[in-house]
Structure 1
């Protein structure tokens, strides 16, 4: 019996579902997130709602942020992220799935009225330029996911973007 764990009232954790979507040139799709400060580009995707399965989160978020209607491909990376005192973001995991290959003409940014757009731009970015757009943590996560794709290896487990064994 696990007396140190309350299964009926577990600690608060966040589940994110993200996509690595590439173009024919092997560049990665990044979206510009209006609600973030600083390097506010990242992979399309977002946080699960209560009682929402990660694959459903992925499908919903990708549709909302890119206009693409598809199911997630292979799980590439599971990345554990600790609580952030700076942003207040809860501890959690990000599941990064293969989103396949598309052209930029297939991407349709959402039209938002009233509260403003969550996603304001998108760009396919070659790996050598990632650091110009994303935080070091996000860059490590993307590079690990692309390595799994390119090597056709099994999924990777990361903690804060760094491979774990």
Structure 2
């Protein structure tokens, strides 16, 4: 038996409208519409959207930071990593990039929410220094006349304005 190590080049960049067609894995058509609406909000400087791709341009992670939702903080939001790329450090790269964008705005706190039934994501956030600080009822439209409701734990993390903690 041999240990094998494979290095893969990744690119971290802003999401573009043309990327939306390749994000069906990220949460279905309602999530794509939410990403498109968030992209529109980016023109008002309220949101930044980040995409991580393989060297061939294939998207493997997407996420956003909302600067309008919380005072003096950026809220990480709509985080998604392709299933086959989970637990390989891609989520950490995505969160680190979003935190850097919060710092660039001169803000020193990141917040996020995670559904109560997503312990893997909660464990990642805790490993990255996020502390659970609340519980909220959240939800979003799922189609005409339908909404999804869930309980989310809220987390926050102080950010050093000089770099990662």
Fold match (TM-score > 0.5): no
* Richer in strand (by share): 2
Give the structure, 1 or 2, with the largest relative contact order (CA under 8 Å, sep 6 or more).
1
TM range, normalised to the smaller chain? under 0.3
TM-score norm. by structure 1 comes to 0.24
* Richer in helix (by share): 2
